[in-house]
Amino acid sequence: MNKKTKNIIWIIVAVVAVALVGVFLSDILNAATELSFTDFMTKIGNGEINTLYVDGYAWQGMLVTDGRIVASYTTVAPSIYDYASLTTLLQGFENVGVSVDITFTDPNAGSVWSSLIPLLGVVLVAVMFWLIMRSAAGGGGANMSINKTKAHVQSNLKVRFSDVAGAEEEKEELQEVVEFLKSPKKFAALGARIPSGVLLVGPPGTGKTLFAKAVAGEAGVPFFSVSGSDFVEMYVGVGAKRVRDLFDMAKKNQPCIIFIDEIDAVGRRRGAGLGGGHDEREQTLNQILVQMDGFEANDGIIVMAATNREDILDPALLRPGRFDRRINVNLPDVKGREQILKVHARNKPMSPDVNFKTVARITAGFSGAELANLLNEAAILAARAGKKTIGNLELYDGINKVLMGPQKKSRVVTESDKRCTAYHEAGHAVLACLCKHCDPVHEVSIIPRGRAAGYTMTRPETDDNDVSYNKLVDNICMSLGGRVAEELVIQDVTTGASADLQHVSDIARRMVTQWGMSDKLGLVAYDSDLPVFMGMEYGNQSRGGYSQETAATIDSEIRRLITEAHERATKLLKENRSIMDNMSRVLVEKETIYTEEVQMLMKGADYKEVIAYMDEKEGTHRDNPFASMTTPSPEHVVKEENESQE
């Protein structure tokens, strides 16, 4: 090693050290400590927080002295706060000298330190890179391989569609992609536009990765995979370079699949969120977009990506020519669970008395991965007990093991949760049928979707978008149905109705303040159509749009509308209690019902009758849920998001 190389190495070591100190310092200054809501409130009380940014339920509190952020905390506000109590709460903070702001922008932008230090780090790292490059050019440098694509390439994947159970619709959609990969030239010759990007959206463990592999396996093409999280926490420019290398490599191996797992890690909406310094991620994302735009029509590359947070993705990713095909991969229903269990039991010796139907029934809320895990646990238990086959005993213990597992704890769906959700949804559905101005019910389900524990979908009969007073009042009544059902049956309320209540107060508020639907207040628009969240428009009072007195009248009018609807909902559900009872029993058993069953129940059919009817025609609904509808438009509206207790 000559003297020159030695010097360079010392310089690199020094620069790295300085850069690390810089990064470390900026971390201290920016790092927000996540607090429980109670602890957060205590800090406010102690004066340890004097600046508060409220962004929906996400709150950030900071101690700012002389324009410098000394400490920073985050918390998630409980969703129980309604408009009135939240306003009171925030006003209380202002009274003790906390500056409160509702913001959707970067609260750190004002701090010189927080923007300067990462910049310093960037400059230092850039210098370091330059030095490395120079020494490499001189022939004496070490071969640093951080620029190499860390993509995994798998060429002869053995995964087939038959390994993915219970997702027939998804398979059908992906079949097209398989055909294309088998003979891209054929499609190109006919001018067919094949999606260059397919986005798989669904909760963890539902088989998104499995699906991507199955497509590659079915088509017999190489499978390049990277994970979005590989790209974060990297030096500026490296992520973009990796993306380039990955696509170059893929182009040399056409036809093939590029799979980007956890794309939300790089594909977050740009320019959003607290704290700056996402340059690296943005560059990586931009590079992905550029590469996808550069595809020729006959390029045999399909980019697949998976996420469970579609809502935070940058809209640019979803534009035509990019990830313009989207496939929802949901948690499996009873039938799906049974099929998944069977797939994973294929090479396991099962005791003949095991009934997968029963196991499927009691594992509501389990993902495919959890079901696979359950069978694995059961196999381990059987082996330990010195058995030759896996029996019911091991399966039940396996379920408990998975239920007690770390990830599962938060969203266990017990029989009593299931019953509660069933009543909640039945309450909505029955009221939707009884209220004359509500749209017809199209689907009622207690399968969790997103953050909702269940859902009731209604579908308008016409394209008529006009909303009348009666329609709004009925909508409020129907939306309260879930809560009222809980009050009547469980004699206790859960937090499950919080999203409903938000929806209800939002409508009532708009009726009073925007649409002139309150006699007391008359035809005056008090609010413009500003973004509403948590059912409130912050700052109206302070902006002096109207007097305190008017504000009080508005509040009382909103309350009156909701109270009246609540009384009507209670009366209707009491009178039709037996319909609700029957419907919830069918829901517990079948998990999802459609127009036809709802109508049977509304006419007074017994739950046994409906279940028998469904058993008989099992499957036809799943294949085509629109079959029983009169108009062909597949449009439907998700009327409510009934949040589960997470």
Q: Strands (DSSP E) along 89-164, which ranges?
A: 99-102, 152-154
Picked from ligand ADP, Mg ion, Zn ion, none, the partner binding residue 500 (CB below 5 to 8 A depending on kind) is Zn ion
Diameter of the chain measured on Cα atoms: 93
- Least Å distance between CB 369 and ligand ADP? 3
Residue 495, class by beta-carbon neighbours within 10 Å (0-12 exposed, 13-18 middle, 19+ buried)? middle
Distance CA 354, CA 370 (A): 18
Stretch 494-523: interaction string toward Zn ion, x if CB under 5 A: ------x-----------------------
- Least Å distance between CB 455 and ligand ADP? 21
Does position 642 bind Zn ion by CB under 5 A? yes
Closer by beta carbon to ligand ADP, 343 or else 431: 343
DSSP three-state, residue 203 = coil
Does position 343 bind ligand ADP by CB under 6 A? yes
Stretch 202-241: interaction string toward ligand ADP, x if CB under 6 A: x-xxxxxxx-------------------------------
Let me know: does 302 contact 258? Beta carbons within 8 Å: yes
- Least Å distance between CB 421 and Zn ion? 9
Stretch 451-490: interaction string toward Zn ion, x if CB under 5 A: -------------------------------x--------
Residues 412-441 binding Mg ion (CB under 5 A) are: none
Let me know: does 310 contact 336? Beta carbons within 8 Å: no
Distance CA 382, CA 580 (A): 43
Measuring CA to CA, which residue among 300, 271, 301 is closest to residue 288?
301
> Taking the C-alpha atoms of 373, 378, 384 and 386 in order, what is their torsion angle to the nearest 10 degrees?
-140
Handedness of CA 207, 212, 217, 218 (dihedral sign): positive
Let me know: does 529 contact 509? Beta carbons within 8 Å: no
> Phi and psi for 461 in degrees, rounded to 5?
-80, -30
Residue nearest to ligand ADP (CB): 368
- Least Å distance between CB 596 and Mg ion? 36
Picked from Mg ion, ligand ADP, Zn ion, none, the partner binding residue 642 (CB below 5 to 8 A depending on kind) is Zn ion
DSSP three-state, residue 615 = helix
Residues 502-561 binding ligand ADP (CB under 6 A) are: none
Distance CA 442, CA 635 (A): 11
Alpha carbon 363 to its chain's center = 21
Closer by beta carbon to ligand ADP, 371 or else 600: 371
CB atoms near residue 559 (< 10 Å): 13
- Least Å distance between CB 279 and ligand ADP? 28
CB atoms near residue 420 (< 10 Å): 24
Handedness of CA 596, 598, 601, 606 (dihedral sign): positive
Closer by beta carbon to Mg ion, 194 or else 304: 304
Distance CA 304, CA 283 (A): 20
Half-sphere exposure of 216 (CA within 13 A, CB side): 28
- In the set 178, 181, 313, 369, which binds ligand ADP (CB under 6 A)? 369
The residues, any chain, with a CB within 8 Å of residue 67's CB and separated by 6 or more, are: 110, 111, 112
Does position 306 bind ligand ADP by CB under 6 A? yes
- Least Å distance between CB 168 and ligand ADP? 10
Picked from Mg ion, Zn ion, ligand ADP, none, the partner binding residue 489 (CB below 5 to 8 A depending on kind) is none
Number of residues that bind ligand ADP (CB under 6 A): 18
Distance CA 432, CA 469 (A): 16
- Least Å distance between CB 404 and Zn ion? 29
Distance CA 181, CA 174 (A): 11
Picked from ligand ADP, Zn ion, Mg ion, none, the partner binding residue 166 (CB below 5 to 8 A depending on kind) is ligand ADP
Number of helices and strands (H, E) in the chain? Answer: 24, 15
Closer by beta carbon to ligand ADP, 118 or else 332: 332
Residue nearest to Zn ion (CB): 482
- Least Å distance between CB 331 and Mg ion? 14
Closer by beta carbon to ligand ADP, 343 or else 446: 343
Stretch 158-177: interaction string toward ligand ADP, x if CB under 6 A: ------xxxx----------
Please give the structure tokens belonging to residue 552: 């009080």
Residues 199-218 binding Mg ion (CB under 5 A) are: 209
Closer by beta carbon to Zn ion, 157 or else 587: 587
Does position 640 bind Zn ion by CB under 5 A? yes
Q: Is 425 a catalytic residue?
A: yes
Among 425, 591, 597, 643, the one annotated catalytic: 425
Which stretches of the chain bind ligand ADP, using CB under 6 A? 164-167, 202, 204-210, 306, 340, 343, 368-369, 372
> Which residues are part of the catalytic machinery?
425
List residues near Zn ion by CB under 5 A: 482, 500, 640, 642
Contact set with Mg ion (CB under 5 A): 209
